[in-house]
């Protein structure tokens, strides 16, 4: 008997799945930006209270960009890893989409607050923004790869456990069908013959 072919996804279904992925990546990018902003505020206050003000211009420049990129280097990779554990995504496209949405929201927020000079005025800051963004996309891509590898390993372990369970159940059924192995009792001894007197 021939096996029936699996139904192919229609163009509408593929477009719908792609749209859901785009919305998910955009939402994660914006959410990561907000969570990273909260972490940045708390971490900057803690570091300032413990170590005081940073007098070196170079260190202040580096620390400022590390604070600004917590959402892209730490929060968003964590979100992307979790998504990759349960949903198949294209690592590079998903990372670029999520990072670009978070970055766009950052720029829009700066423009809305009248801080356009912090985004475009200094060429060094523009280069730093681009370099740190590209590095962040790479970090997110690696996190997605790690999440997919962990998901594949978990699937292999689950399949092995399921195969073991099926083998044990099949053995149990075989024993149940065979029934208990009870040894038959020996036949009774013949009665003694009476001799004529």
Provide the pLDDT for residue 197: 44
Tokens (6 digits) for 7: 């139904």
Per-residue pLDDT at 181:
55
CA dist 151 and 38 (Å) reads: 30
Asked if 20 contacts 94 with a C-beta cutoff of 8 angstroms, the reply is no
Domain boundaries, the chain: 14-177
What is the model's pLDDT at position 35?
A: 92
Half-sphere exposure of 144 (CA within 13 A, CB side): 22
What is the predicted pLDDT for the residue at 118? Answer: 64
Across 56-66, b (16+ Cβ under 10 Å) vs e yields: eeeeeeeeeee
Those residues with Cβ within 8 angstroms of residue 137's Cβ, 6 or more apart along the chain or in another chain: 92, 95, 96, 99
Mean pLDDT by 10 residues, the chain (197 residues): 56 79 90 90 77 75 87 94 92 94 89 71 83 95 94 89 86 78 56 53
Q: How many residues can be counted in the chain? A: 197
């Amino acid at each position: 008997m021939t096996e029936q072919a699996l139904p192919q996804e229609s163009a509408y279904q593929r477009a719908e799945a792609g749209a859901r992925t785009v919305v998910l990546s955009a939402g994660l990018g914006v959410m990561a930006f907000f969570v990273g902003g909260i972490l940045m505020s708390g971490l900057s206050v803690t570091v300032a209270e413990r170590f005081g003000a940073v007098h070196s211009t170079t260190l202040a420049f580096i620390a400022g960009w590390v604070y600004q990129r917590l959402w892209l280097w730490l929060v968003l990779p964590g979100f992307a890893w979790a998504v990759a554990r349960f949903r198949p995504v294209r690592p590079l496209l998903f990372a670029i989409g999520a990072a670009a949405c978070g970055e766009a929201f950052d720029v829009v927020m700066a423009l809305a607050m009248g801080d356009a000079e912090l985004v475009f005025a200094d060429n060094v800051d523009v280069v730093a923004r681009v370099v740190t963004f590209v590095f962040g996309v790479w970090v997110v891509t690696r996190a997605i790869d790690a999440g997919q590898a962990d998901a594949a390993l978990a699937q292999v372990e689950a399949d092995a456990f399921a195969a073991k369970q099926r083998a044990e159940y099949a053995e149990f059924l075989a024993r149940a069908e065979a029934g208990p192995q009870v040894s038959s009792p020996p036949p009774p001894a013949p009665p003694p013959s009476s001799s004529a007197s």
